[in-house]
Chain A
Amino acid sequence: AQSVTQPDIHITVSEGASLELRCNYSYGATPYLFWYVQSPGQGLQLLLKYFSGDTLVQGIKGFEAEFKRSQSSFNLRKPSVHWSDAAEYFCAVGAGGNTGKLIFGQGTTLQVKP
Chain B
Amino acid sequence: GAVVSQHPSWVICKSGTSVKIECRSLDFQATTMFWYRQFPKQSLMLMATSNEGSKATYEQGVEKDKFLINHASLTLSTLTVTSAHPEDSSFYICSASLTGGPSATQYFGPGTRLTVL
Which A residues are CB-close (under 8 A) to B67?
none
Q: Is A83 an interface residue (CB 8 A)?
A: no
* Cross-chain contact of A43 among B41, B46, B93, B101 (Cβ < 8 A): B93
Structural contact, A42 and B110, CB atoms closer than 8 A: yes
What's the count of A-B pairs with C-beta under 8 Å? 65
Q: Is A114 an interface residue (CB 8 A)?
A: no
**Interface size of A in residues (CB-CB distance below 8 Å):** 27
**Contact count band on B:** 20 to 34
Interface string of B62-93 (1 = CB under 8 A from A): 00000000000000000000000000000001
* Cross-chain contact of A104 among B44, B97, B100, B109 (Cβ < 8 A): B44
CA distance A102 to B100 in the complex (A): 12
A43-B93, A104-B44 known; A97-B110 Cβ under 8 A: no
Interface string of B1-45 (1 = CB under 8 A from A): 000100000000000000000000000000010100000011110
Which A residues are CB-close (under 8 A) to B100?
98-100
Structural contact, B49 and A99, CB atoms closer than 8 A: yes
Residues on B facing A (Cβ under 8 Å): 4, 32, 34, 41-44, 46, 49, 57, 93, 95, 97, 100-111
